[in-house]
């Protein structure tokens, strides 16, 4: 799919054309680890690994389930917001906010292994985007932002001392910066570092589609802090170049990973060179006479201290991207998949090289976008086609299964069993959200197409082809601020009985979900108002294959 490594010593941005929102990253030895928001999807907090900051793979999740019982159902826009990852005295720490529940921490000795049960170290709504820091004297601190929708105000950063083990807070919470008073409205996502005796807080401001990167500094961790804007969009095509992580290489180079909100595809990740001038960072490349940098479209790869011969070892330094295809031959579900809510073990099984999706009872009046057991992936590229091969012989009366596209504009093409008939449904809907309170209110229309009567009995597969195509670029207004060059994507779903000849089912305009990009995937449901002597059934997914357009 999308490959950032140009294989000539350079890379192109973005390094990940996928919705890894609010990234944070660290280097431990020669290894880089990056994490991202996951909201109500589970497993939660993806952990990506790289050796060179350009080529990344998803290697784990910090949470198998989103904490708290209510996330057994999808609550779009809630759940796990911007997390932070740090390494201290042999332990990896991830701090993550849940804006309605509090600030949590989970730990691990091995980032590829099992992470601890999360602990809520600051219960209650309001604080978001926490980042820990351990000073040279062993004291620990936490910096965090706030969510206006939960606490009544925004653009403020707080600092509080933690226990040395990082598993609890001590001391008084101190307001250290008010962006409302400093032309830094919507400052959030703080990341705390120290260099040359200065405490630095890297914090984005200006909003997720129109903002910039600000850095605060002080000789005292509790301030007062002065500030400077260190990266703006400038003349580049990269809107909102902010929120991310400062990382270095073993050779002493400095780099910055950040996201760009591209609407339907979500928040994609970029890598920028970074250098220091008079103890202030400059991110990207600055034009003559300019104190801030602008994002680069292409640049040389980071110097990780390896010779060309060592880098040619593709086993250790592969040119790669996160997985998308799946043939379901493994012993566990691929790491590219997330559920729409906390899953139950009885939803699926891996058997005989196929994914068995068991039909899960629907809840009355709950539309497709709120089905718990949607199995979803992030978009892996600006344009692509995804073909899913599904066997239907396990379906029972009242079952529905198929392909889904989930965003504020959502759609599905699915097969339903009704008596002796199998029909293809075309489902469309729109999710609506109040600006502060996440909820879903959807309207759905369906058009049925009858399948051949002997189709399922013969054990044939049905193929769903999900295609995303960019139809052009437009200009959006965000709070009276223009955002140029916004991609417009069209989603088409078609189906086939032979994998070669496809019948068009529907086309919709793509629109991102609640803080997330559009996702696509599969599902299998049972209408619990329909009683079947055989009970609920299942479908078998043989493979999912992505191709570039």
Q: State the fold for domain 10-311.
A: Tachylectin-2; Chain A (2.115.10)
**In 3-state terms, what secondary structure has residue 426?**
strand
Query: Are 128 and 188 within 8 A, CB to CB?
Result: yes
The secondary structure of residue 331, as a DSSP letter, is S
When the candidates are 3.40.50.300, 2.60.120.200, 3.40.5.10, 1.10.3720.10, the CATH number that belongs to 338-547 is: 2.60.120.200
Residue 351: what pLDDT?
A: 94
CA gap 378, 519 in Å, rounded: 5
Of the candidates 521, 513, 498, the residue with the CA atom closest to the CA atom of residue 402 = 521
Helix (H) or strand (E) holding 349: strand 348-351
Cβ-Cβ contacts under 8 Å for 544 (sequence gap 6 or more): 324, 325, 326, 386, 387, 388, 389, 522
Q: Residue 539 corresponds to which tokens in the numbers above?
A: 């479908």
pLDDT tens for the 549 residues of the chain, in order: 999 999 999 999 999 999 999 999 999 999 999 999 999 999 999 999 999 999 999 999 999 999 999 999 999 999 999 999 999 999 999 999 999 999 999 999 999 999 999 999 999 999 999 999 999 999 999 999 999 999 999 999 999 999 999 999 998 999 999 999 999 999 999 999 999 999 999 999 999 999 999 999 999 999 999 999 999 999 999 999 999 999 999 999 999 999 999 999 999 999 999 999 999 999 999 999 999 999 999 999 999 999 989 999 999 999 999 999 999 999 999 999 999 999 999 999 999 999 999 999 988 778 899 999 999 999 999 999 999 999 999 999 999 999 999 999 999 999 998 877 888 989 998 888 765 554 555 556 666 777 776 666 667 899 999 999 999 999 998 877 889 999 999 999 999 999 999 999 999 999 999 999 999 999 999 998 887 777 899 999 999 999 999
Asked whether the beta carbons of 158 and 173 are under 8 A apart, the reply is yes
Q: In the chain, which residues fall in CATH 2.115.10.20? A: 10-311
Tens digit of pLDDT for each residue in 75-117? 999 999 999 999 999 999 999 999 999 999 999 999 999 999 9
d(CA 219, CA 217): 7
What is the rounded distance in angstroms from the CA atom of residue 74 to the CA atom of residue 72? 7
Give the dihedral of Cα atoms 526, 529, 532, 536; nearest 10 deg.
20
471-488 burial: b if 16+ Cβ within 10 Å, else e: eeeeeeebeeeebeebbe
Identify the three-state secondary structure at position 405.
strand
Task: Give the Cα separation of 542 and 37 in Å (integer).
Answer: 30
pLDDT number for residue 263: 97
Pairing of strands 360-361, 519-526: parallel
Residues of the chain with CATH 2.60.120.200: 338-547
Q: Are 216 and 227 in contact (CB under 8 A)?
A: yes
Strand ranges (DSSP E) for 18-162? Answer: 24-28, 31-35, 44-50, 57-63, 84-88, 91-98, 102-108, 119-123, 127-134, 140-146, 156-162
Q: Give dist(CA 390, CA 398) in Å, integer.
A: 18
pLDDT given at position 451:
76
Cβ atoms of 368 and 426 within 8 Å: the answer is no
pLDDT of 439: 53
DSSP string, 139-152: -EEEEEEE-HHHHS
Question: Which pLDDT score is estimated for 490?
Answer: 98
> Residues with Cβ < 8 Å from 242, sequence gap 6 or more?
189, 204, 205, 206, 211, 212, 213, 214, 231, 258, 259
Whole-angstrom Cα distance, residue 360 to residue 343? 11
Q: In the structure encoding, which two tokens stand for residue 210, read together? A: 């129109």
Question: Would you name the residues annotated as active-site residues?
Answer: 22, 188
DSSP structure class, residue 286: P
What is the tens place of the pLDDT at every residue in 187-205? 999 999 999 999 999 999 9
């Amino acid at each position: 799919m999308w490959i950032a490594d140009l294989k000539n010593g350079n890379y192109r941005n973005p390094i990940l054309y996928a919705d890894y929102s609010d990234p944070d990253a660290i280097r431990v030895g020669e290894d880089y680890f990056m994490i991202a928001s996951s909201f109500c999807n589970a497993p939660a907090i993806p952990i990506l690994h790289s050796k060179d900051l350009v080529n990344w793979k998803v290697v784990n999740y910090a949470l198998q389930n989103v904490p708290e019982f209510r996330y057994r159902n999808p609550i779009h826009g809630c759940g796990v917001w911007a997390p932070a990852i740090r390494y201290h005295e042999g332990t990896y720490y991830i701090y993550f906010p849940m804006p309605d529940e509090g600030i949590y921490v989970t730990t691990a000795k091995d980032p590829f292994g099992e992470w601890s049960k999360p602990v809520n170290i600051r219960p209650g709504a309001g604080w978001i985007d926490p980042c820990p820091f351990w000073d040279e004297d062993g004291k620990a601190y936490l910096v965090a932002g706030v969510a206006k929708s939960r606490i009544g105000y925004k653009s403020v950063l707080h600092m509080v001392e933690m226990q040395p083990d990082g598993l609890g807070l001590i001391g008084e919470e101190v307001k250290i910066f008010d962006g409302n008073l400093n032309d830094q409205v919507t400052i959030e996502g703080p990341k705390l570092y120290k260099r040359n005796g200065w405490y630095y807080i890297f914090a984005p401001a200006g909003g997720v589609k129109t903002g910039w990167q600000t850095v605060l500094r002080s000789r005292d961790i509790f301030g007062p802090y002065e500030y400077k804007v260190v990266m703006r969009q400038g003349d580049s095509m990269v809107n909102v170049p902010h929120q991310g992580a400062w990382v270095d290489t073993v050779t002493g180079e400095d780099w910055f990973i950040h996201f760009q909100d591209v609407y339907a595809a979500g928040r994609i990740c970029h890598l920028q060179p970074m250098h220091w001038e008079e103890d202030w960072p400059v991110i990207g490349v600055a034009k003559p006479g300019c104190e801030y940098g602008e994002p680069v479209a292409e640049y040389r790869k980071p110097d990780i201290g390896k010779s060309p011969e060592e880098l040619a070892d593709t086993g250790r330094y592969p040119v790669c991207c996160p997985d998308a295809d799946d043939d379901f031959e493994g012993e566990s579900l691929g790491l590219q998949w997330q559920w729409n809510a906390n899953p139950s073990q009885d939803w699926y099984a891996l058997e005989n090289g196929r994914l068995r999706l068991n039909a899960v009872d629907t809840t009355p009046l709950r539309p497709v976008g709120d089905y718990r057991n949607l199995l979803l992936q992030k978009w892996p590229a600006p344009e692509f086609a995804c073909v899913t091969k599904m066997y239907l012989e396990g379906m029972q009366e009242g079952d529905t299964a198929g392909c889904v596209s989930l965003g504020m504009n959502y759609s599905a093409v699915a097969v339903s069993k009704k008596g002796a008939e199998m029909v293809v449904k075309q489902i469309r809907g729109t999710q609506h959200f109040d600006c502060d309170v996440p909820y879903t209110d959807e309207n759905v229309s369906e058009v049925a197409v009858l399948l051949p009567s002997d189709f399922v009995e013969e054990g044939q597969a049905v193929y769903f082809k999900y295609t995303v195509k960019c139809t052009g670029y437009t200009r959006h207004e965000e709070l009276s601020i223009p955002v140029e060059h916004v991609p417009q994507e069209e989603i088409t779903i078609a189906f086939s009985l032979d994998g070669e000849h496809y019948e068009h089912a529907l086309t919709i305009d793509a629109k991102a979900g609640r803080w997330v990009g559009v996702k696509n995937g599969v599902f299998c449901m049972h209408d619990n108002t329909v009683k079947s002597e055989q009970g609920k059934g299942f479908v078998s997914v043989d493979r999912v294959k992505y191709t570039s357009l």
